């Protein structure tokens, strides 16, 4: 089993909602309303 761990700063306001997995993307909404779609 291979596990990769990475860290990326998205926004200093924090998360509004729990992260959601959709297809091959991780969707995150920050408290200031910005939506991020993260892929590998």
The pLDDT tens digits of the residues spanning 1-40 come to: 665 556 666 667 777 778 888 888 888 888 888 888 888 7
Number of domains into which the chain is organized: 1
The Cα 9–Cα 35 span in angstroms is 13
Provide the greatest CA pair distance for the chain. Answer: 37
The Cα 20–Cα 16 span in angstroms is 12
Report pLDDT for 1.
67
Report pLDDT for 29.
86
* Residues of the domain holding 4: 1-40
The Cα 11–Cα 34 span in angstroms is 9
The Cα 22–Cα 35 span in angstroms is 13
Report pLDDT for 15.
75
pTM of the model: 0.60
């Amino acid at each position: 089993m291979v596990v990769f761990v990475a860290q990326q700063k998205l926004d200093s306001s924090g998360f509004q909602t729990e992260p959601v997995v959709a297809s091959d993307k991780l969707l995150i909404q920050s408290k200031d309303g910005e939506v991020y779609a993260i892929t590998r």
